[in-house]
Every structure is written in structure tokens, then in C-alpha cells.
Amino acid sequence: MSAKPTIIPKPTQNAFDKKVYENLNVMVVEDASYMSSLICGILKSLGIGRIFEARNGSDALDILNTQAIDMVLIDDLAPPLDGLSVVKKMRMSETSGCGSPVILLTAKPQQSEIFAARDAGVTEVLSKPFSAAQIITRIEAVLAKPRPMVKSEVFVGPDRRRREKAAPEERRTVENKPKI
């Protein structure tokens, strides 16, 4: 009896024209080579133009200083320069990629870790294990709805508000006050 071949489901239909992906420079920061290969394979299947790989935080910062990076996919990384430290340094720098979207790929999906990622300037968080479709969905989300960058003395990163700006709620006045 022959074994039935495994069929891998195709991810959702790509929301963007191939030219959008062809023009992207994406950096993958992952210390595990097998995981980096997996992520790069997913990016190549999308048709991403240039993929830069870094195995640690200092290599990632070097790439950011020398290349125009449009998006970063970063792992938690091991100390001394962990993933969130890299994101903070990236956001506070004056390099061309300091405002690029950052997707954190984390093995620590606890609420406190997600808040720490948000406070570091991460755009999206994706917990491990993940599927190819989940990575593609996150990439398309940051491309489809880019959030403006907020800069202050203590924070640089994407605007935390994700809601669409709706019409302001009508102010209550004596005329439109609900009757009880």
C-alpha cells in the first residue's frame, strides 16, 4: 500500500500585486538557522525582492545601518542584545529603516511580553509555532494598514491605536440628552 502524499494547503490569496513584494527589502533576524531558512522560504514564495539575514542583534543593527530595510521579522534572540533591545535601538536611531514595520516572532506569548514588545516599538507580534499563512497575514496587515510613527522622548514606534478613525461621538447637550 503506497502512502498518500501530504498536501500542504495554500495560504490565502495574496492581497498585493507581485510588484509590491518584488520591491521590498526584508530583514530576518533569527538565531536558529533552520527557523531562519523556513521564514526565508516563506518570504521567497511571496516573491520578496531582497532578503537579508542576521543571526544576532549586532549583525541586525549593522544591516540596518548599511541597507534600506522596508520590514523586519525578528525573533526574541538570546542576550546580550535580545530582540526587543534591537527594536528599541532601531527605533531610536536615525537610519533609513527606523520607521519600518517590525514583526516579532516570539516563543513567549504572555500578556506581559506582548506589552513589552509594544512598548519597545514592535508593530505586530506572532507567537511560535506559526504557519506560513499566519506570517503572510501579518505581512499583509502591516502593508495594508501602515500605522504612523509616534516619536517622543521615551517612545518611538507605531501608533498603538489600530481603530479606524470614526466620526467623533456627538456631544450630549440639553437638546439631545436621553430621556429617562
Point out the least confidently predicted range of 25-29, 130-134, 169-173, 175-179.
169-173
Helix-strand-coil percent breakdown of the chain, rounded to 5?
Answer: 35, 15, 50
Four-CA torsion 92, 144, 103, 59, nearest 10 degrees: -60
pLDDT at 8: 45
Grid coordinates representing 61 are: 543593527
Determine whether domain 18-158 maps to CATH 3.40.50.10190: no
Map grid coordinates 507581485 to a residue: 18
The pTM of the full predicted model, rounded to 2 decimals, is 0.79
Question: Residue 180 carries which side chain, given as an amino acid letter?
Answer: I
Contact 49/21 with Cβ under 8 angstroms? yes
**Is a pLDDT exceeding 80 seen at residue 99?**
yes
Point out the least confidently predicted range of 14-18, 50-54, 68-72, 120-124.
14-18
Instruction: Express each pLDDT in 138-150 by its tens digit.
Output: 999 999 888 888 8
How many CB atoms neighbour CB 19 within 10 A? Answer: 10
pLDDT at 106: 93
Task: Measure the CA–CA gap between 137 and 11, rounded to whole angstroms.
Answer: 9
**Is a pLDDT exceeding 60 seen at residue 9?**
no
Average pLDDT, the chain: 83
Domain ranges of the chain: 18-158
Class of residue 33 by CB neighbours under 10 A (exposed 0-12, middle 13-18, buried 19+)? exposed
